[in-house]
């Protein structure tokens, strides 16, 4: 009777082990099947990129879609959700939105720059407060070079050491007005009295201080097309809202 009981217990254990192995195998197969489905169904074939100015669409995708899971839309969506980007210069945040299993939209949020200065062969980009936030050997479109400022050193994530740091408020006013009127200045030059000259190709616009800045740029936008192909100085230092004539002095060859 005891042997029969032991045999029954052994058979029950054996049966339980078989059932356990079967359940485990089924679970593994289900996981593998699910993984295969995700791998094949959520492989990205179409990418839309928006918000990028410094990098091309291809450069963004090459930097984002890397590694074994770099082309999986679910992985990309989780990886770039509410997360700052530290390994891509000029970019603060990236978001990946799944439009369909094989299609994603990459939204790029680039850092905001007021301008840049050249220092030891590099371009040092600063924000609205004059703090250096990026160093690069590349120029980025839409950000003007600022010249004429005097400084003897540059430190990352510290304010550019100029004599009068109120100049950064003027730079911000100028760059915001440039954006507003869709003007692309190549360079801003500050003289010793911090009066400003803007360079638009071969045309130099002397705006003086930042007074009446909005009205000045409104007029500049209308005048510049008339000066295409010319080289000289548009004199706006004494400009007021009532000014009707703005002198242009063409350079002598």
Q: What percent of the chain has pLDDT over 70?
A: 83
Place of tokens 């209308």: 222
- CA 151 to the chain's CA centroid: 27
Average pLDDT, whole number, for the chain? 81
- What does the longest C-alpha to C-alpha distance in the chain come to? 122
| 73 and 12 both lie in a single domain | no
| 50 and 90 both lie in a single domain | yes
Range of the domain at 63: 46-110
Domain endpoint, select from 81, 110, 139? 110
| 84 and 197 both lie in a single domain | no
Distance CA 136, CA 148 (A): 20
Query: What is the number of structural domains in the chain?
Result: 3
Tens digit of each residue's pLDDT (9 = 90 or more) over 46-94: 989 998 877 889 988 888 888 878 888 888 888 888 677 777 778 888 8
| 231 and 121 both lie in a single domain | yes
| 27 and 3 both lie in a single domain | yes
Tens digit of each residue's pLDDT (9 = 90 or more) over 126-176: 888 889 988 888 887 778 899 999 888 899 889 999 888 888 888 888 888
| 237 and 203 both lie in a single domain | yes
| 196: CATH | 3.40.50
Place of tokens 């390994």: 87
Q: Which long-range contacts (CB under 8 A, 24 or more apart) does 24-29 make?
A: none
Distance CA 90, CA 229 (A): 34
DSSP class of 165: T
Show the tokens assigned to 243. Answer: 């000014």
| 170 and 244 both lie in a single domain | yes
| 218 and 120 both lie in a single domain | yes
Instruction: Read off the pLDDT band of 213 (50, 70, 90).
Output: confident
| 124 and 219 both lie in a single domain | yes
């Amino acid at each position: 009777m005891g042997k029969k009981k032991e045999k029954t217990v052994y058979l029950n254990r054996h049966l339980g082990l078989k059932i356990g192995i079967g359940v485990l195998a089924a679970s593994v197969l289900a996981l593998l099947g699910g993984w295969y489905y995700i791998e094949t169904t959520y492989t990205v074939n179409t990418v839309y990129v928006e918000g990028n100015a410094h990098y091309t669409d291809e450069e963004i995708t090459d930097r984002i879609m890397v590694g074994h899971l770099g082309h999986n839309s679910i992985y990309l969506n989780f990886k770039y959700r509410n997360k700052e980007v530290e390994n891509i210069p000029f970019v603060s945040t990236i978001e990946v939105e799944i439009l369909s299993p094989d299609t994603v939209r990459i939204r790029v949020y680039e850092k905001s720059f007021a301008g840049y200065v050249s220092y030891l062969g590099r371009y040092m980009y600063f924000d609205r407060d004059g703090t250096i936030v990026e160093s690069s050997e590349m120029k980025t479109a839409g950000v003007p070079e600022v010249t004429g400022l005097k400084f003897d050193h540059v430190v990352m994530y510290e304010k550019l050491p100029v004599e009068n740091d109120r100049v950064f408020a003027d730079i911000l006013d100028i760059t915001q007005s440039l954006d507003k009127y869709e003007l692309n200045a190549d360079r801003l030059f500050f003289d010793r009295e911090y009066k400003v000259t803007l360079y638009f190709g071969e045309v130099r616009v002397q705006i003086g201080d930042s007074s009446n800045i909005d009205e000045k740029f409104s007029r500049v936008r209308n005048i510049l097309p008339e000066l295409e192909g010319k080289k000289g100085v548009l004199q706006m230092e004494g400009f007021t809202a009532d000014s009707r004539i703005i002198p242009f002095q063409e350079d002598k060859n």
